[in-house]
Amino acid sequence: MIRFQLDDFTLLEKAPTSAASLRTKLGEMLISSTSARVQIDSVNPQTGEYRLVLLGTLDLEKTPFDRT
């Protein structure tokens, strides 16, 4: 399993990205976190637009399987 690294944060903001690619990166980030939660900032029922805030702590402990 690929672990999310601090350097990967810049990849989350690059555009354009597909929903599948974003889902993969966010999944890696959540699995690599020691804690995580979400705050719903806003939801627009007319347009379907939403804004979420993810809060968490990445597990920064090195393992033998980490990228070098």
Radius of gyration from C-alpha coordinates of the chain: 14
**Got the DSSP string for 12-40?**
HH-SS--HHHHHHHHHHHHHTEEEEEEEE
Return all residues near 9 (Cβ < 8 A) that are at least 6 apart: none
The pTM (predicted TM-score) of the whole model is 0.76
pLDDT of residue 39: 97
Q: Which residues pair with 64 in a beta bridge?
A: none
pLDDT digits (tens, 9 = 90+) for 6-60: 888 888 887 677 888 888 889 999 999 999 999 999 999 999 999 999 999 999 8
Rounded to whole angstroms, the Cα distance separating 23 from 45 reads 22
pLDDT of residue 36: 96
